[in-house]
């Protein structure tokens, strides 16, 4: 589990969420948002959402990049993400935004 708070805002369409092992579908529509919690979700046809996180966001990096080795095998994106994240975190650390 990571420490930042996640906010998921549905901008267009609807999102279907599932809370394992419960198989009941939760439907989140445009204008709704949910905070935190561990759920599986599907952005249904035409859905567009904004995910926003606050807190120690760099601690989320291992969770996001772990997928490269387990399913996507997209090494170009992995390299690109690591380089940009390292650059931006270094800049933020030097100006005192990261402690």
Per-residue pLDDT reduced to its tens digit, 19-74: 878 888 888 888 877 776 677 888 888 888 888 878 777 777 787 778 777 877 88
pLDDT band at 91 (very low <50, low <70, confident <90, very high): very high
Structural domain boundaries of the chain?
Answer: 5-54, 57-94
DSSP string, 15-76: EEEE-TT--PPEEEETT-EEES---EEEE-TT-EEEEEEES-GGGGHHHHHHHIIIII--HH
Residue with tokens 């291992």: 62
């Amino acid at each position: 589990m990571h420490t930042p708070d996640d906010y998921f805002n549905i901008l267009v369409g609807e999102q279907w969420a599932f809370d394992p092992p419960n198989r009941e579908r939760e439907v989140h529509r445009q204008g709704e948002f949910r905070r935190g919690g561990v759920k599986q979700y599907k952005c249904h046809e035409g859905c567009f959402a904004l995910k926003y996180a606050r807190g120690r966001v760099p601690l989320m990096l291992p969770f996001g990049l772990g997928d490269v080795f387990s399913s996507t095998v997209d090494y170009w994106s992995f390299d690109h993400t690591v380089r940009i994240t390292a650059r931006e975190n270094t800049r933020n650390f030097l100006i005192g935004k990261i402690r």
